[in-house]
Chain A
Amino acid sequence: MQTDYIHIILADDDEDDILFFTDAFDELKINTKVNTFKDGEELMDYLNDDQSRMPNVLFLDLNMPKKTGIECLKEIKASHKMSEIAIAIYSTSASEEDIEKTFVLGANIYIKKPGDFKKLKKLLSEVVSINWQYHTNGLNKDNFLLSL
């Protein structure tokens, strides 16, 4: 069923971050639908459900209870059904280790959570407007971390 909105999912255990995230999309006035999950297990339960609609973009926090972002990423990439989802890592840290690991595991882009709401809005609008097909073809370690 084709719809005219962009389906976005955020998996993050931090309520403040969820608030910023949803607020940003509210203000961005892009036709989006945002679903949020509080941990990796909730997310995977949703994605594994045949009834669920797969998101266009999945924002994945790395540090989550029950199931970490890395574990979720591995499961998603291993599943045929979910492999098409564009995955944006959405994390406080931008350590070399995390960036390297998620890149190797097949994430599409890496976003470091900014400390400024305007910047957040800009980053998010950038991400949802990416042509994933095109982006993925030219993806390398240098443009993996999104910077403005």
Chain B
Amino acid sequence: MKRNNLFKSTSFLRVVLLLSLFVILLIGGFTYRHISNLTNSEEIVVKTYNVNLELEHIVSYLRDAESAHRNYIVTKDRFYVNTYLNAKEKVNRAFLKLEDLVGLNSNQQKNLTVLNKLTDSLYNNFSKTNAFVTDNTTNTETFKTLFFEEKIIMDSIRRQSNAMFDLENKLLNEKQNEYQSDLRFTPLFFYLVLLATLVLIIMAYNKISNDLKKIKAKNDQLLIFEESTNQSEIIGKHGNWVWHIDSNKFIYSDNLYRLLGEEPQSFEANFDNFLKFVHPEDVDKLAEDLDNMIDAEELPFVNYRIVQKNGSIKHLKAYAKSFYSADGQKRLLGNTSDITDEIESFLELEERNLELERNNKELSAFNYAASHDLQEPLRKIQTFISRLEEKESDKFSDPGHQYLDRIKSASARMRLLIDDLLQFSRTNKPDKEFVSADLNELFENAKQDIVEIILEKKAQITSDTLPRAKVIVFQMQQLFLNLLSNSLKYCKKETVPIIEINYSKVKANDDPLLSKAPKSFYHKITFSDNGIGFDQKYAGKIFDLFNRLHNKQEYSGTGIGLSICKKIIDNHQGFIFAKGEINIGSVFTVYLPE
């Protein structure tokens, strides 16, 4: 867009320049013509003047000759004969000049010939009358006729001369008129052309000054951009470079030098100088990558290490893209980043992850082994207690019986804890396989596991039809079992437990509890009971391991069951929430991704 404007502006200026050149040439041509017209006109005037002058000379010489001849007739002095003969020579010279001046004008040539003949006939007449003078017969009629003819010829000469004079003046006027009409419009034309040129020049000036302003603004922007690029290179720890492939010249940005641990532009930018910094193990690979760059249009990231002069090793990552200048020269624009921090923190993270994984594994193994190995001595204690009870109970005193009962219930509780812990650690194991399962079936299985308690408490359990879902089968069954057991365990005494299971499919956006859910749709399953409930302020803590809201004399929980539920739901990328009201009941809501 902007480039287009600039392009337009250049072509505009070019047009203005061409027009101006054309105008100047035009003006030059016209001026030349004008001046040459003026010169011609002046020449013609001079010529006309000369023609008139010579004609007057001729007429005057002839007049002198005539008067000399008369004087001869009167005085018979030969001196006068010489005088008019001399005049003839002068007349002849004037004729020669006139012939030159008249040039190719045929009318004047004819006139001149006529004048010449008249002159000749005048001198003939002189000769004829001279004979009468010599014979002294001037009183004769013939002489008088001849003498009178002389006057007539002289008059003709004057007329002829005047005619030539008039013709010459007429020619002069014609020519002058001709030039005049040519020249009349020239000043106006000049003026108009000059005006147009001025307008063009002013427009060009305007355009140029506008363009200059724009270029200046662009330059300012460019400066700002350059500065911000510098800043971002320093902050982002990257530098850029340009490789003019045809001339094999490099340009490195300031920060590229800094990445190498050098002062900006402190050495000549070329590949050999750069290679001095590259880690010896990476030199070959980088050189090869660079060779590939010459042909490729775009290159994947190239990773290599450099060694700064102070010995510290940095990891760099480079990326390049080819770029053609307006004249078709291939250049490679590259960007090199210092990714040392990234790599170091990645390695650290990886290390920590491994450690965490190791710790988790150890913990899980420890948990499993501990609860597993604890079972054995406990089982024996319990078996021995049952032996004692069976075989030796009649030997016990009353307190002895009491102690035995206490031991029994304590060890029973220990067994419960161990079983739950074992269950908890098992939900940690990695061999989780998601399969599509009918949740109704899993729910029935869970119910079957505790059918005795259900019958004993006469609990009423109603359930909506549940969907199929991709789940870890034994874990989902465990979840149902734990939630059911929980409701049965915390039922109100002397009240029939009622447990309701409801199902609906929900959109994550529509459910306030799912505001942070990553999936769009969820299966929502709620377990509502009419049990003793709990204070809502414990709703968050209820899923914590070993967290109990009731003392163990009243209710025999271990504080693990709901933690297992939470863990199972976590494994399924779902959510579980608890809502309670004391003496009204509890609602557990489970969301499973569809």
Question: Which of B372, B378, B390, B474 contacts A115 (CB under 8 A)?
Answer: B378
**B383 and A117 contacting across the interface, CB-CB below 8 Å:** yes
**A115 and B387 contacting across the interface, CB-CB below 8 Å:** no
Cβ < 8 Å to A, chain B residues 354-399: 372, 375-376, 378-380, 382-383, 386-387, 390
Q: How far is the CB of B121 from chain A (nearest CB, A)?
A: 162
**A116 and B383 contacting across the interface, CB-CB below 8 Å:** yes
Query: If A20-B383, A120-B383 touch, does A115 touch B376 (CB 8 Å cutoff)?
Result: no
B415 within 8 A of A: yes
Q: How far is the CB of B413 from chain A (nearest CB, A)?
A: 12
B375 surroundings in chain A (CB, below 8 A): 92-93
Q: How far is the CB of B446 from chain A (nearest CB, A)?
A: 15
**A116 and B380 contacting across the interface, CB-CB below 8 Å:** no
Q: Helix, strand, loop or mixed for chain B's interface? A: helix
**A114 and B379 contacting across the interface, CB-CB below 8 Å:** yes
Bound state CA distance, A113 and B390, in angstroms? Answer: 19
Question: Which of B387, B426, B474 contacts A117 (CB under 8 A)?
Answer: B387
Bound state CA distance, A55 and B208, in angstroms? Answer: 114
How many of chain A's residues have a CB under 8 angstroms from any CB in B? 16
Question: Which of A14, A93, A115 contacts B382 (CB under 8 A)?
Answer: A115
B379 surroundings in chain A (CB, below 8 A): 92, 113-115
Query: If A115-B415, A117-B390, A118-B390 touch, does A93 touch B383 (CB 8 Å cutoff)?
Result: no
Bound state CA distance, A93 and B419, in angstroms? Answer: 11
Query: Which residue, B379, B382, B426, has most C-beta atoms of chain A within 10 A?
Result: B379
A16 within 8 A of B: yes
Which residue from chain B places its CB closest to the CB of A119 in the assembled complex?
B386
Cβ < 8 Å to B, chain A residues 99-130: 113-118, 120
Q: How far is the CB of A16 from chain B (nearest CB, A)?
A: 5
Query: Which residue, B372, B383, B411, has most C-beta atoms of chain A within 10 A?
Result: B383
**B386 and A118 contacting across the interface, CB-CB below 8 Å:** yes
B372 surroundings in chain A (CB, below 8 A): 92-93, 95
Bound state CA distance, A71 and B383, in angstroms? Answer: 28
**B376 and A116 contacting across the interface, CB-CB below 8 Å:** no
A93 surroundings in chain B (CB, below 8 A): 372, 375
Q: How far is the CB of A100 from chain B (nearest CB, A)?
A: 11
**B386 and A117 contacting across the interface, CB-CB below 8 Å:** yes
Cβ < 8 Å to A, chain B residues 291-315: none
B390 surroundings in chain A (CB, below 8 A): 117-118
Q: How far is the CB of A110 from chain B (nearest CB, A)?
A: 16
Which residue from chain A places its CB closest to the CB of B380 in the assembled complex?
A16
Which residue from chain A places its CB closest to the CB of B382 in the assembled complex?
A115
Bound state CA distance, A110 and B489, in angstroms? Answer: 30
Q: How far is the CB of A85 from chain B (nearest CB, A)?
A: 26
**A92 and B376 contacting across the interface, CB-CB below 8 Å:** yes
A23 surroundings in chain B (CB, below 8 A): 387
Cβ < 8 Å to B, chain A residues 5-56: 14, 16-17, 20, 23
Q: How far is the CB of A93 from chain B (nearest CB, A)?
A: 6
B382 surroundings in chain A (CB, below 8 A): 115-116
B474 surroundings in chain A (CB, below 8 A): 96
B383 surroundings in chain A (CB, below 8 A): 16, 20, 114-117, 120
Q: How far is the CB of A91 from chain B (nearest CB, A)?
A: 10
Interface string of B409-430 (1 = CB under 8 A from A): 0010001000000000010000
Bound state CA distance, A16 and B378, in angstroms? Answer: 12
Bound state CA distance, A65 and B251, in angstroms? Answer: 75
A116 surroundings in chain B (CB, below 8 A): 382-383, 386
Cβ < 8 Å to A, chain B residues 417-466: 426
Q: How far is the CB of B444 from chain A (nearest CB, A)?
A: 14
Which residue from chain B places its CB closest to the CB of A23 in the assembled complex?
B387
Query: Which residue, A23, A92, A118, has most C-beta atoms of chain B within 10 A?
Result: A92
Which residue from chain B places its CB closest to the CB of A63 in the assembled complex?
B376
A115 surroundings in chain B (CB, below 8 A): 378-379, 382-383, 386, 411, 415
Query: Which residue, A96, A116, A118, has most C-beta atoms of chain B within 10 A?
Result: A116
Bound state CA distance, A91 and B382, in angstroms? Answer: 16
Bound state CA distance, A23 and B390, in angstroms? Answer: 13
Cβ < 8 Å to B, chain A residues 62-102: 92-93, 95-96
Query: Which residue, B386, B390, B415, has most C-beta atoms of chain A within 10 A?
Result: B386
Bound state CA distance, A79 and B382, in angstroms? Answer: 38
B378 surroundings in chain A (CB, below 8 A): 115
Bound state CA distance, A114 and B380, in angstroms? Answer: 9
Bound state CA distance, A85 and B43, in angstroms? Answer: 152
Bound state CA distance, A17 and B383, in angstroms? Answer: 10
Bound state CA distance, A92 and B372, in angstroms? Answer: 8
Bound state CA distance, A116 and B411, in angstroms? Answer: 12
Q: How far is the CB of B382 from chain A (nearest CB, A)?
A: 4
Q: How far is the CB of A19 from chain B (nearest CB, A)?
A: 9
B376 surroundings in chain A (CB, below 8 A): 14, 92
A117 surroundings in chain B (CB, below 8 A): 383, 386-387, 390
Bound state CA distance, A114 and B479, in angstroms? Answer: 25
25 A-B pairs (CB sep. < 8 Å): A14-B376, A16-B380, A20-B383, A20-B387, A23-B387, A92-B375, A92-B376, A92-B379, A93-B375, A95-B372, A96-B426, A96-B474, A114-B379, A114-B383, A115-B378, A115-B383, A115-B386, A115-B411, A116-B383, A116-B386, A117-B383, A117-B387, A117-B390, A118-B390, A120-B383
Q: Which residues of B contact A (CB under 8 A)?
A: 372, 375-376, 378-380, 382-383, 386-387, 390, 411, 415, 426, 474
18 more A-B residue pairs beyond the given contacts A95-B372, A115-B382, A117-B383, with a C-beta to C-beta distance below 8 A: A14-B376, A16-B383, A17-B380, A20-B383, A23-B387, A92-B375, A92-B376, A92-B379, A93-B372, A95-B426, A114-B379, A115-B379, A115-B383, A115-B411, A116-B383, A117-B386, A117-B390, A118-B390
The 4 closest A-B pairs by CB, nearest first: A115-B382, A117-B386, A115-B379, A116-B386
